[in-house]
Amino acid sequence: MTSYVEVLKKYKANPTDATILSEYSELSQKAAEMSKQSKDCTDSKYSLKLLELSQKITKAMIGH
């Protein structure tokens, strides 16, 4: 998660840097895999953690 937020911040600072786009692509693939796996998770404490992580990503994307 921390890596994802850091890459988003780097991308916002320099959206033309190809290395950042490569890092972002790799992290996006990992996130997609984790999202598929999260559907099997029914424990409420994990659902809450996933929500918190989602909110953290959203904040990083909008710059708050």
C-beta of residue 27 within 8 angstroms of C-beta of residue 4: yes
Split at pLDDT 50, 70, 90, the class of 63 is low
Q: What is the pLDDT of residue 31?
A: 74
25 against 35, higher pLDDT: 25
User: Residue 43 CB: number of other CB atoms within 10 A?
Assistant: 8
Give the separation between CA 41 and CA 13, rounded to whole angstroms: 35
The yes-or-no verdict on residue 64 having pLDDT over 70 is no
CB within 8 A of 10, min separation 6: which ones? Answer: 17, 20, 23
25 against 38, higher pLDDT: 25
What pTM value is reported for the model?
0.49
Element (H, E) at 13: helix 2-13
Q: What is the pLDDT of residue 1?
A: 63
